[in-house]
């Protein structure tokens, strides 16, 4: 199967040897997104809700670049540094889905890139 690299200026540029996403057939594998605003190159970490919304906007930009939207997401993985933030993250994350929720796991980790508090990756299919 042919692989297509998905990169958009509307999401943060990769900061290592990876791409924003890979599309193969009808499957999209998106790298984890953090709360880096691609327009300003500044982190949005004022509060966990704003941080989560920026992450989801970055995910949305990648989905858009692949001709998809949140209804195409099959699975997501959420990495957080403090499980006490789960409720607020979950509420912000859930606002991007309408009546259809993907499979998901949420994992607390010791640290994330750039000392952010949340990172989200998705797998989608059209």
Whether pTM exceeds 0.75 = yes
Token reading at 64? 């858009």
pLDDT at 1: 77
**Three-class secondary structure assignment of 53-95:** HHHHHHHHHHHHHCCCCHHHEEEEEEEECCHHHHHHHHHHHHC
Task: Express each pLDDT in 2-37 by its tens digit.
Answer: 999 999 999 999 989 999 999 999 999 999 999 999
Q: Which domain holds residue 38?
A: 3-125
Number of structural domains the chain divides into: 1
> Taking residues 109-125, what's their average pLDDT?
97
Say which CATH number the domain at 96 has.
3.30.1330.40
Question: Is the CB of residue 7 less than 8 Å from the CB of residue 15?
Answer: no
CA separation for the pair 81, 111 (Å, rounded): 6
Task: Express each pLDDT in 73-100 by its tens digit.
Answer: 999 999 999 999 999 999 999 999 998 8
């Amino acid at each position: 199967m042919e692989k297509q690299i998905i990169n958009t200026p509307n999401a943060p540029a990769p900061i290592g040897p990876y791409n924003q996403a890979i599309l193969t057939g009808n499957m999209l594998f998106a790298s984890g997104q953090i709360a880096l605003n691609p327009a300003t190159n500044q982190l949005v970490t004022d509060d966990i809700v704003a941080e989560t919304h920026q992450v989801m906007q970055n995910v949305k930009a990648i989905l858009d670049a692949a001709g998809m939207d949140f209804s195409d997401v099959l699975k997501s993985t959420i990495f957080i540094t403090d499980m006490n933030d789960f409720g607020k993250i979950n509420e912000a994350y859930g606002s991007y889905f309408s009546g259809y929720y993907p499979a998901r796991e949420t994992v607390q980790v010791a640290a994330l890139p750039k000392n952010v508090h949340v990172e989200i990756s998705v797998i989608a299919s059209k």
